[in-house]
C-alpha cells in the first residue's frame, strides 16, 4: 500500500486479541468513543496465546500491528493480557510514534479495593508466569497475599462459543476453588475473554467477592490518547476481522454484544 492510498483511509483505532475476548474491550471503546472508527482483528487461527512462546507472540503482534496500521489504525489497543505482557515492548520499539494501549491485570485497583488483603487473579498461564505480572504484584500489591491461578482451557471453550456448557462450568469451579480456600475477597479477571463468563465466576466465588476487570480503564486511556482533531464517522464505523472463522466471529458478536449489522471479514496478517 502506498503512502498516498494509506492517507485516504479514515483514521481508526486498531484493536487486536488472540481471538474473541478482546471484543469486551471493543465494547467499552465503542461506548467511550461512539464517533471514532474502530477496527478489530481476532487472531483466532492462532488462539489461544496463553501457552505460546514470547518469540511467537512478538512475531504475531508485530505482523498484526503492521496490518492494522495499513488498514488505517492511528492508535493501537492490544486487547490481550498475554500479548501485552510478552510483546507490547516490541511494538513500542518498532513504532515509537504510534500511541499503544496495553492490557494488564487490574492488580492496582484490586489492591485498593480489598478489605482483607487477599487478592485472587485468574489469567492465562503465560500471564501468570510473566515478569510483567510479577512486577505489577511487587509494585502495587506488596504486603497483600496474591493468589495467581492459571486457567488453561477456558479460552478455548469461550472461543468455541461455549459460554455455559458443563465443561466450562467444571473448569470455572476448579479454578475458583483455590481462591475460595484462600478466602480472597477481591478477584482480578486477567484475560479479556473472561468478562464474557463473569456471571459464572461470580457464582463460583460467591456474591460477596468483588470482581475487577479493566475494560473501562482501557477505553478511558484510549480516549485520552485519541486526538481531538481526528475526524469522526457517522455513528462510528465498526469493522471486525478474523484469521479464523468469519461465521463464528459474526455469531459471537451478535449473540454476546447484540451487534447484528457490523462488517465482518477475513484477514491474513
At 10 the pLDDT is: 79
At 232 the pLDDT is: 64
Mean pLDDT on 226-233: 72
At 25 the pLDDT is: 97
Query: Measured between alpha carbons, how far is 155 from 151 in angstroms, rounded to an integer?
Result: 8
Name the band, by pLDDT with cuts 50, 70 and 90, for residue 261.
Answer: confident
* All domains of the chain in start order, with CATH: 3-103+216-266 (3.40.50.1860), 107-213 (3.40.50.1860)
Residue 144 assigned ligand-binding role: no
∠91-227-2 over CA atoms, to 5°? 60
Residue 176 catalytic?
Answer: no
Look at residues 127, 186, 120, 184 and name the one whose alpha carbon lies nearest to residue 155.
Answer: 127
Residue 18 assigned ligand-binding role: yes
pLDDT at 237 over 90: no
Residue 50 assigned ligand-binding role: yes
Residue 193 assigned ligand-binding role: yes
The model's pLDDT over 85-127, given as tens digits with 9 standing for 90+, comes to 999 999 999 999 999 999 999 999 999 999 999 999 999 999 9
Q: Phi and psi at residue 23, in whole multiples of 5°?
A: -60, -25
Look at residues 21, 19, 40, 16 and name the one whose alpha carbon lies nearest to residue 263.
Answer: 40
pLDDT at 235 over 60: no
Q: Is residue 229 exposed (0-12), middle (13-18) or buried (19+ Cβ within 10 Å)? A: exposed
Residue 46 assigned ligand-binding role: no
Residue 194 assigned ligand-binding role: no
The model's pLDDT over 2-41, given as tens digits with 9 standing for 90+, comes to 444 445 677 999 999 999 999 999 999 999 998 899 999 9
**Residue environment code for 133-160, b if the CB has 16+ CB neighbours within 10 A, otherwise e:** beebbeebbeebebbbbbbeebbbbbbb
Residue 186 assigned ligand-binding role: no
Active-site residue among 151, 176, 191, 256?
Answer: 191
First to last CA, the chain: 14
Residue 229 assigned ligand-binding role: no
More confident residue, 46 or 4: 46
Helix H or strand E segment including 146? strand 145-150
Residue 256 catalytic?
Answer: no
Query: Measured between alpha carbons, how far is 147 from 61 in angstroms, rounded to an integer?
Result: 29
Amino acid at each position: 500500500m502506498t503512502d498516498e492510498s494509506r492517507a485516504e483511509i479514515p483514521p481508526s483505532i486498531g484493536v487486536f486479541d488472540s481471538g474473541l475476548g478482546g471484543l469486551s474491550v471493543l465494547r467499552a471503546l465503542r461506548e467511550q468513543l461512539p464517533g471514532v472508527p474502530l477496527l478489530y482483528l481476532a487472531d483466532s487461527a492462532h488462539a489461544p496465546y496463553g501457552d505460546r512462546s514470547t518469540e511467537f507472540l512478538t512475531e504475531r503482534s508485530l505482523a498484526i500491528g503492521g496490518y492494522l496500521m495499513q488498514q488505517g489504525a492511528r492508535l493501537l489497543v492490544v486487547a490481550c493480557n498475554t500479548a501485552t505482557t510478552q510483546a507490547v515492548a516490541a511494538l513500542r520499539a518498532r513504532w515509537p510514534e504510534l500511541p499503544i494501549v496495553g492490557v494488564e491485570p487490574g492488580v492496582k485497583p484490586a489492591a485498593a479495593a480489598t478489605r482483607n488483603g487477599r487478592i485472587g487473579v485468574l489469567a492465562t498461564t503465560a500471564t501468570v508466569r510473566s515478569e510483567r505480572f510479577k512486577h505489577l504484584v511487587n509494585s502495587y500489591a506488596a504486603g497483600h497475599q496474591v493468589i495467581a491461578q492459571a486457567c488453561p482451557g477456558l479460552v478455548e471453550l469461550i472461543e468455541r462459543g461455549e459460554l455455559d456448557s458443563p465443561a466450562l462450568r467444571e473448569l470455572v469451579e476448579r479454578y475458583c476453588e483455590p481462591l475460595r480456600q484462600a478466602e480472597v475477597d477481591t478477584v482480578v479477571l486477567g484475560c479479556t475473554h473472561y468478562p464474557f463468563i463473569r456471571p459464572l465466576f461470580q457464582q463460583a466465588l460467591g456474591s460477596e467477592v468483588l470482581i475487577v476487570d479493566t475494560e473501562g480503564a482501557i477505553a478511558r486511556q484510549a480516549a485520552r490518547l485519541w486526538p481531538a482533531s481526528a475526524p469522526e464517522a457517522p455513528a462510528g464505523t465498526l469493522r471486525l476481522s478474523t484469521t479464523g472463522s468469519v461465521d463464528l466471529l459474526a455469531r459471537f458478536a451478535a449473540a454476546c454484544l447484540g451487534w447484528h449489522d457490523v462488517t465482518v471479514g477475513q484477514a491474513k496478517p
